[in-house]
Chains A and B, each alone.
Chain A
């Protein structure tokens, strides 16, 4: 019994990080109806960003701030190049455009860094939490995910800019009529979504070894989590991530790890089919 509880606790902590990644995905969808298929590649970029910052002597947790800034700038750049010109076209086009961005990132990443695993090798303590041992890295990653989410909510609900983002998400034309520069807001939202993805990647990199291809699996987890929570609903995405983490934790002691993916994808397809607006209701 204690074994499964420890495993569930681990799942909860990592689930918060999945949730953070999923918020990045769901935010972009919520604001501009674009499913960002570059999400996984960007997560991988976050992993490498924190790695190289660490190699140049910056502590991973300090590096997070820089990663977030890079993510924001990179997201705005991607938006301007690949998404903005076709934002009003058929959804198929933005899907393919963001996918092409992903191909470029992964291609460049593979060429530069090959596909062999990297590792952010910094000292990690094991802690005792309610009688269960967890690593400090996992705990910090979960806390960081929660903090970033709280920060995001403060931004969205307490600042003028954040309210503008929500207004555009709600109804772009109406927001424009109110004088909100919607294109800038869309770029910003894409930037924030990308920053969140990179941050989650950076946090994951403090836990596990990774390659440029590692983002893919977290992209899929982000899809599952955001679909669980209702695409476009950030709170739902966070809960979706937690649910996913808990499921992983709960089944981990009983089945081979590789089966968890099957379970997750089956859940994913079933949720899409039977609860297309998610368990908590989302935008459609």
Chain B
């Protein structure tokens, strides 16, 4: 595939640049903080889409990758004085490797069994970390201020980290796009439609599923490292917040599972909606209710999400917006 000749590739580049430059050029910190959250959401949703949308396996506990990435990164920086870059890369690789090993086991489970196991994994890891003294137990890990010094002081460091998160967002979209257009992606979609048939057609299903699971762990783990570095601390409840991984499912479903555009748009809209609800007086308590009702409505009436609906209205869109 000639990537550079694909309009969709340039769309990803454009969106990424927009995210990077919009707050940076104006030095607008409020905008940056809004966008960073939506970038994180896009990262989570896009990578989760590899499992839910492409492979058809509902991972309820995808946030475990994000949390582990955060913990590994902060631990390496705080206790072993690593720099941010090697720390996040290492955290991403280790998390991905763990997912690979774990994947061969849990991906033997199908449907509801798999979904339950993913919840179990996240909760087990959370409770383990909360009791794990080298990682600070329930208090978590705090970064010493010196950690920012290496990056030219806190203010500068925060901008750098923001740009890195946006980069990871762009890479997530690019990754899911490339997978979708690849033979590997075709195999995953076949698994989603009918795993047994896929196996008979020659798709090495155990390996493919495990690779998808492991791949969907890498960038979220890197993002977790960056995000918690930016926060300066990480605690178990924030790192392994099961709610956030469920919200990621809502985002994917909202935008349209199995589509790159859908996962991004779904995450973006969800973040906007959440922000709106949190600021509206009287509604701030109801954001969970509305998210839940929204999810139910999508499932009942528009299981293809926004993109599914758009594709139905303009079938030709399918070729342009992946």
Direct contact of A and B (CB under 8 A): yes
Binding site for B on A (CB under 8 A): 29, 33, 35, 82, 85-86, 89-93, 95-97, 99-104, 106-108, 110-111, 220, 223-224, 227, 231, 256, 258-259, 261-262, 265-266, 268-269, 272-273, 276
Asked whether A273 lies within 8 Å of B106 as measured between CB atoms, the reply is yes
Q: How far is the CA of A100 from the CA of B109 in the complex (A)?
A: 23
Query: Which residue of A85, A93, A269 contacts B117 across the interface (Cβ within 8 Å)?
Result: A269
CB-CB nearest 3 A-B residue pairs: A103-B292, A107-B288, A107-B289
Asked whether A265 lies within 8 Å of B296 as measured between CB atoms, the reply is no
Q: How far is the CA of A276 from the CA of B138 in the complex (A)?
A: 32
Q: How far is the CB of B188 from chain A (nearest CB, A)?
A: 15
Query: Which residue of B123, B287, B295, B303 contacts A100 across the interface (Cβ within 8 Å)?
Result: B295
Query: Which residue of B52, B127, B303 contacts A261 across the interface (Cβ within 8 Å)?
Result: B127
The yes or no answer to B318 lying at the interface (CB within 8 A) is: no
Q: How far is the CB of A82 from chain B (nearest CB, A)?
A: 6
Query: Which residue of A91, A108, A268, A276 contacts B289 across the interface (Cβ within 8 Å)?
Result: A108
Query: Which residue of A100, A256, A268 contacts B296 across the interface (Cβ within 8 Å)?
Result: A100
Q: How far is the CA of A35 from the CA of B116 in the complex (A)?
A: 9
B118-155 interface with A by 8 A CB criterion: 119-121, 123-124, 127-128, 130-131, 138
The yes or no answer to B56 lying at the interface (CB within 8 A) is: yes
B243-298 interface with A by 8 A CB criterion: 246, 249, 253, 285-296
Q: Which residues of A contact B121 (CB under 8 A)?
A: 265, 269
Query: Which residue of B109, B131, B291, B303 contacts A258 across the interface (Cβ within 8 Å)?
Result: B131
A–B complex contacts, Cβ < 8 Å, 11 sampled: A35-B112, A96-B295, A99-B246, A103-B292, A111-B286, A111-B289, A223-B119, A258-B130, A262-B124, A262-B131, A269-B117
Q: How far is the CA of A217 from the CA of B189 in the complex (A)?
A: 34
Asked whether B123 lies within 8 Å of A272 as measured between CB atoms, the reply is no
The yes or no answer to B108 lying at the interface (CB within 8 A) is: yes
Asked whether B124 lies within 8 Å of A265 as measured between CB atoms, the reply is yes
Asked whether B292 lies within 8 Å of A104 as measured between CB atoms, the reply is yes
Asked whether A268 lies within 8 Å of B120 as measured between CB atoms, the reply is yes
Q: How far is the CA of A258 from the CA of B299 in the complex (A)?
A: 36
- Total contacts A to B, CB within 8 angstroms? 124
Q: How far is the CA of A175 from the CA of B52 in the complex (A)?
A: 33
Q: Which residues of A contact B105 (CB under 8 A)?
A: 273
Asked whether A272 lies within 8 Å of B120 as measured between CB atoms, the reply is yes
Asked whether B246 lies within 8 Å of A103 as measured between CB atoms, the reply is yes
Please tell me the number of chain B residues within 8 Å of chain A, measured between CB atoms: 41
Q: Which residues of B contact A261 (CB under 8 A)?
A: 123-124, 127
Interface of A is mostly: helix
**Supplied contacts A103-B292, A269-B121, 10 more A-B pairs, CB within 8 Å:** A85-B300, A96-B253, A96-B295, A99-B295, A104-B289, A227-B116, A266-B124, A272-B120, A273-B117, A276-B113
Q: How far is the CA of A32 from the CA of B4 in the complex (A)?
A: 49
Q: How far is the CA of A173 from the CA of B121 in the complex (A)?
A: 36
Asked whether B120 lies within 8 Å of A103 as measured between CB atoms, the reply is no
Q: How far is the CA of A33 from the CA of B112 in the complex (A)?
A: 9
The yes or no answer to B179 lying at the interface (CB within 8 A) is: no
The yes or no answer to B115 lying at the interface (CB within 8 A) is: yes
Q: Which residues of A contact B287 (CB under 8 A)?
A: 107
CB-based nearest B residue for A274? B105
The yes or no answer to B7 lying at the interface (CB within 8 A) is: no
Q: How far is the CB of A38 from chain B (nearest CB, A)?
A: 10
CB-based nearest A residue for B285? A111
Asked whether A104 lies within 8 Å of B293 as measured between CB atoms, the reply is yes
Q: Which residues of A contact B116 (CB under 8 A)?
A: 35, 223, 227, 268, 272
Q: How far is the CA of A95 from the CA of B114 in the complex (A)?
A: 11
Query: Which residue of A110, A259, A265 contacts B120 across the interface (Cβ within 8 Å)?
Result: A265
Q: Which residues of A contact B286 (CB under 8 A)?
A: 107-108, 111
Q: Which residues of A contact B295 (CB under 8 A)?
A: 96-97, 99-100, 103
Q: Which residues of B contact A89 (CB under 8 A)?
A: 303
Asked whether A97 lies within 8 Å of B120 as measured between CB atoms, the reply is no
Q: How far is the CA of A227 from the CA of B116 in the complex (A)?
A: 10
Asked whether A95 lies within 8 Å of B112 as measured between CB atoms, the reply is yes
Q: How far is the CB of B262 from chain A (nearest CB, A)?
A: 15
